Amino acid sequence: MTEVRKRRESDGKLLESAESDHIDSEDDRFKSDADLSNTIPSGTDKAPGVLEWLVKDLPDKWRNWAVRAIFSLIMIIFFSLVIYGGPLALMITTLVVQVKCFQEIINIGYAVYMIHGLPWFRSLSWYFLLTSNYFFYGESLIDYFGVLINRTDGLPFLVAYHRFISFSLYCVGFVWFVLSLVKKYYMKQFSLFAWTHLALFIVVTQSYLIIKNIFDGLIWFIVPVSMIICNDIMAYVFGFFFGKTPLIKLSPKKTWEGFIGGGVSTVFFGLGISYVMCQYPYFVCPIEYSEALGRITMECEPSSLFRLQAYNVPTWMKWLNMFGVGSTVHLYPFMLHSLSLSLFSSIIGPFGGFFASGFKRAFKIKDFGDVIPGHGGIMDRFDCQFLMATFVNVYISSFIQTDSPQKLLSQILYLKPEQQLQLFYLLEDSLQNRNMFNAAN
């Protein structure tokens, strides 16, 4: 009986100790709401010293409106300058935005899980960002510039074994993470490991798709991005002046009036900007390496997608006659596709912002950062853009894109010489059987 009593007392002490450790770990898992709010800076209520004297006498509502409007204009001007800088400037800007968004998400993770002083963990997050970018952007370079890469000494090896190298780099990070595990911090470290990978999924893959869209023609980047900007601005304006009916509980300030007003404005804006940009090869030509010119080029004969075509006006739209519209109209086919883009940016796009709002509310923070006065962090402004980028890429691959001869050639060059020769003979036989050589002559 004495031994049984001792065993029960021992088991009770172990259980009590385990429960105490569990309670301590749960209490220690998250910071208090006030601490987390103070850790993550907010930028929507801030006005730079230069503007403070202009808005200091305004009511809070109009003060925020003024600061937001000024920095919206500054961002639009900056965006226009980047477009003027060409594809390289756009890609660099995309990478900078990606890094900043990743930093903001990771900083929230560190604030939530309070990982302080553990070896290498912050370095591990950035290492995984670098390896992810190496994999994704390497894939893009191989697809679009394979001809050029295969002619550069040393690079064909990297091309041939790109995926193996990428996987090896990831394995190094994986082993590094396992070796960095510290007793009593396992739960926090694994939680932050998952947090890092979620951030990579949200940020890196989406920015990769943005750059793929750029390679297909600047219009596939500029028009969707502009639609999101237009929808965000006009929804804010309509909601500010006319908003009365709440739209969603996650964002109490969002209203149906703003949602509908922003959507209608985006449709008309999308048609207008598409009509203008379709007239310039600079915006519609894909980015390719020209073997004849020996350089990257954006010169091409615009496809039928960007040429005016006549369309018969449907019977149910005959009422447009009173506005001078005849029985036929001349439109660029891309304008019809822009309707799909504008509808997505108006109806589904805002849910990227609602998702971000829910994320911030879950951790009792107002903004992802304070980089942009009146707006918050970079992620606060690009939460809808990432979702839009995915839709555009899926839309192109589903309804628009066919592999260009240039891209097919770059893939053929990865084959062994005997495989290339075999492909040549098979293609020659196929063309002869279809009398394509006679048709060409």
- Residue type, position 221, single letter: F
| Pairwise CA distance, residues 275 & 291, whole Å | 31
Give, for all 441 residues of the chain, the pLDDT tens digit: 455 444 544 544 444 444 444 434 444 444 444 456 667 777 676 666 656 666 666 776 677 778 888 888 888 899 999 999 988 899 899 999 999 999 999 888 888 777 666 667 788 999 999 999 999 988 777 666 665 666 666 677 777 788 999 999 999 999 999 998 888 888 888 988 999 999 999 899 989 999 889 988 999 999 999 999 999 999 989 998 898 899 988 888 889 999 999 999 999 999 999 999 999 999 999 887 666 666 677 888 888 899 999 988 777 777 767 767 777 888 999 999 999 999 999 999 999 888 888 888 888 888 888 888 877 888 888 888 878 999 999 999 899 875 666 667 666 766 778 888 888 888 888 888 888 776 655
| Pairwise CA distance, residues 414 & 418, whole Å | 12
| Pairwise CA distance, residues 189 & 177, whole Å | 9
Three-state SS for 225-272 is HHHHHHHHHHHHHHHHHHCCCEEECCEEEEEHHHHHHHHHHHHHHHHH
Tell me how many degrees the CA angle 26-369-133 measures, rounded to the nearest 5. Answer: 90
Residue 391 is predicted with a pLDDT of: 94
Length of the chain in terms of residues written: 441
**What is the bridge-based pairing of β-strands 309-312 and 295-297?**
unpaired
- Residue type, position 399, single letter: F
- Which DSSP string corresponds to 22-68? HHHHHHHHS--HHHHHHHS---TT---HHHHHHHTTS-HHHHHHHHH
| Pairwise CA distance, residues 7 & 17, whole Å | 15
CB atoms within 10 A of CB 194: 11
Q: Where are the alpha helices (DSSP H) in 86-161?
A: 87-113, 121-150, 155-160
Residue 316 is predicted with a pLDDT of: 74
**Residue 277 tokens, joined:** 């940009």
Residue 14 is predicted with a pLDDT of: 43
Q: How far is CA 227 from the centre of its chain?
A: 14
Q: Long-range contacts: 171-178, Cβ < 8 Å, 24+?
A: 173/124, 173/127, 173/128, 173/131, 176/120, 176/124, 176/127, 177/124
Checking phi first, is residue 402 left (phi over 0); if not, alpha (psi -120 to 50) or beta?
A: beta
Asked if 246 and 239 touch (Cβ cutoff 8 Å), the reply is: no
Residue 21 is predicted with a pLDDT of: 46
Which H helix or E strand runs over 312?
Answer: strand 309-312
Residue 18 is predicted with a pLDDT of: 43
- Which DSSP string corresponds to 95-116? HHHHHHHHHHHHHHHHHHHT--
DSSP designation for 399: I
| Pairwise CA distance, residues 360 & 337, whole Å | 34
